[in-house]
Amino acid sequence: MHFDVNIRPAEIRASLHCLTEITGAAAWQKRENDFAHQVRDNPLMAEYLDSHFRIERSMFDVKRYKQNTGRIPNIINTPSANTATLYNFAAVVSRVFRQLPMCGQDALRQKLKGALDDEVGLSPLAFEMRTVAHFVASGFDVEFHDLGEGGGFDFLVSKAEIEIEVECKSVSGDVGTAFICVANASLAHIF
């Protein structure tokens, strides 16, 4: 799989729409309602949610901004780096989703819905998508193994005689969140 990793301002709105359509608006609305309930119960929770659920919280900020102004925040003038993170995530997910076979699309849809419903959120999937975008930008072909085959490793990247099985992991706890990628490389013909 190859795709353009550059995001253009004119494409952002369609990418956000696609991201919402993949899961359905109800999954995002439920997450927003859950967060609002948590903040009502404990106003100090807002800062925690902003730091641990950046993509989700940015999506809700963009939604409110659009409701108030009729447009989405401009990527160039936005004061929040989280908005740019959301736009990047939406662009990569929408491009990957369009190129996946139906079974892969269903698997990605379930991953997104699950992430919007659990205590970890979209951060691990965002890390995986950033890793994919990095490999694509470096000229690698990416094949989503976990979405197509159902396990073993997340994706296979290849370029010339290089093949790398990549497994992205995230660890969360009281100390924060850490993301790592484990790669198993096979070099077919070194000399």
pLDDT digits (tens, 9 = 90+) for 123-172: 999 999 999 999 999 999 999 887 877 677 888 899 988 888 888 887 76
The reply to whether 158 falls in a domain is yes
The reply to whether 133 falls in a domain is yes
The reply to whether 4 falls in a domain is no
Residue 160, phi then psi, degrees to nearest 5? 55, -120
In the sheet that holds 176-187, the strands lie side by side as: 141-144, 155-159, 162-173, 176-187
User: Considering only 20-34, 72-86, 152-166, 169-183, which range has the smallest mean pLDDT?
Assistant: 169-183
User: Considering only 34-43, 67-76, 109-118, 147-156, which range has the smallest mean pLDDT?
Assistant: 147-156
Can you state the angle between helices 9-23 and 54-69, rounded to 10 degrees? 110
Report the 10 Å Cβ neighbour count for 73: 20
The reply to whether 2 falls in a domain is no
How many domains, the chain? 1
What is the C-alpha separation between 61 and 33, in angstroms, rounded?
13
The reply to whether 110 falls in a domain is yes
What is the C-alpha separation between 10 and 38, in angstroms, rounded?
35
The reply to whether 14 falls in a domain is yes
Highest mean pLDDT among 23-37, 67-81, 132-146: 23-37
What was the pLDDT predicted at 188? 47
What was the pLDDT predicted at 75? 77
Contact 154, 164 (CB under 8 A): no
The reply to whether 115 falls in a domain is yes
Dihedral angle of Cα 120, 122, 124, 127, to the nearest 10 degrees: -150
44-63 mean pLDDT: 92
Report the 10 Å Cβ neighbour count for 14: 12
User: Considering only 26-35, 83-92, 153-162, which range has the smallest mean pLDDT?
Assistant: 153-162
- 186: pLDDT confidence band, cut at 50, 70 and 90? low
- Name the 3-class secondary structure at 5: coil
Type of residue at 139: G
What is the C-alpha separation between 132 and 148, in angstroms, rounded?
15
Write down the mean pLDDT value for the chain.
Answer: 86
What is the C-alpha separation between 42 and 163, in angstroms, rounded?
49
Indicate if the pLDDT at residue 120 is higher than 60: yes
- 38 is in which domain, residue-wise? 9-187
Residues in the chain: 191
**What is the sign, positive or negative, of the torsion defined by CA atoms of 112, 117, 123, 124?**
negative
Q: What angle do CA 74, 76, 79 make, to 5 degrees?
A: 80
Report the 10 Å Cβ neighbour count for 167: 16
The reply to whether 3 falls in a domain is no
